[in-house]
């Protein structure tokens, strides 16, 4: 099995997982989901760890005391996407360097 393929597949799976949690969080907050619900609470808990480095960068906008537009979540999604692309390119570069060395 190709190590580059395996590494890129794992990176892609991790990226999808991270983006999914953050995307769910964004949508649930935007539509004012009840945080006492088990699923909603679980999503907030899981995504909170991913959002911690970005918390407080941008203010959240609250509409009608229920609907929350979290710009920090969108920013985190962007940064994680850029990081995944850069790591993927790094893996490709290292892989190319190893193959030309042989």
> Which runs of consecutive H residues, i.e. helices, occur in the chain?
3-30, 38-51, 71-101
Say if residue 60's pLDDT is above 60.
Answer: yes
- 10 Å CB burial of residue 56 (0-12, 13-18, 19+) is exposed
Instruction: State yes or no: pLDDT of 16 exceeds 70.
Output: yes
pLDDT exceeds cutoff 70 at 39: yes
Domain residue spans of the chain = 3-97
pTM attached to this predicted model: 0.85
Task: Check residue 41 and give its pLDDT.
Answer: 96
Instruction: Tell which residue, 74, 40, 37, 68, has the closest CA to residue 54.
Output: 74
- In this prediction, residues 65-94 reach a mean pLDDT of 93
């Amino acid at each position: 099995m190709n190590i580059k393929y395996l590494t890129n597949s794992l990176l892609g799976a991790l990226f999808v997982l991270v983006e999914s949690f953050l995307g769910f969080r964004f949508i649930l907050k935007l539509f004012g989901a009840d945080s006492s619900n088990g699923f909603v609470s679980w999503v907030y808990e899981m995504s909170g760890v991913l959002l911690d480095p970005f918390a407080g960068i941008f203010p959240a906008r609250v509409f009608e005391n229920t609907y929350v537009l979290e710009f920090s979540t969108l920013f985190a999604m962007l940064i994680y996407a850029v990081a995944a692309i850069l790591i993927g390119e790094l893996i490709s570069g290292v892989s190319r360097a190893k193959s030309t060395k042989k």
